[in-house]
Amino acid sequence: MSDREPRHGWYVVEWSKERGRGSVESQVGRVEFDGAIAEVDDFVVGEPVQVELERAGDGYRVRRIWPSNLRLPGKDVDTSSTPALEKQLEEAILAEMAGKGTCFQYQVKSLVEQTLVLEGDDNRFEDDPSDVIEITGVGYVALPVFFDCQFFRLATAAERNHVGRLTEITAQSVVFTFVEDEKHFHFVEGSGLRWRR
């Protein structure tokens, strides 16, 4: 581990999709893994992962690895026909999302003039909402009016590809993913974000 603040759990410290090799690290050490046993191929260095180990000689090897941040399976999916999000726009969206955590539940408050407003709460909306997410320039919505939420983030390449099969996607299309659980992913395509927490 580096001199940074210690982290608990497994994190990706190296990953190359081209070589199909990577390594993970935790407080118990560092272990390399083969991309063939990974459940996805779009790992990001620094992201938390879940790891199963098995004995191999005097040490251990990774038997299975998958992201802690659930996402649609994307291994071996050709995403080359779907334009990636414009870098400057991606950085602006990530800056707006930085340091904010999702609530347990969200509900749609309104969809007016291409702006989707969602209210989030951790207490079944018994009081005022804990946060408000506004997605502007909305062109595509695929989510329930009320849902549980584990993660809210930018879509992965595989998720952009999935949405791109359902609606037109350009480099200016911001695709957001709400993850309810491992089987329920909800998507919104828009152009901007305001998040008040």
Kindly report, residue by residue over 140-157, the tens digit of the pLDDT: 999 999 999 999 999 999
**In the predicted structure, residue 177 carries a pLDDT above the cut 80:** yes
Residue 60 CA to residue 12 CA, distance in Å, equals: 17
pLDDT confidence band for 1 (50 / 70 / 90): very low
Nearest to 138, CA basis, from 92, 194, 97: 194
**In the predicted structure, residue 16 carries a pLDDT above the cut 80:** yes
Long-range contacts of 108-111 (CB under 8 A, 24+ apart): 108/143, 108/145, 108/146, 111/138, 111/141
Query: Domains (ranges, CATH) in the chain?
Result: 10-67 (2.40.50.140), 87-196 (no CATH)
Residue 135 CA to residue 117 CA, distance in Å, equals: 7
Residue 144 CA to residue 135 CA, distance in Å, equals: 15
Q: For 54-63, 89-98, 136-145, 164-173, which range has the lowest pLDDT when averaged over its residues?
A: 54-63
Structure tokens of 107? Answer: 């509900």
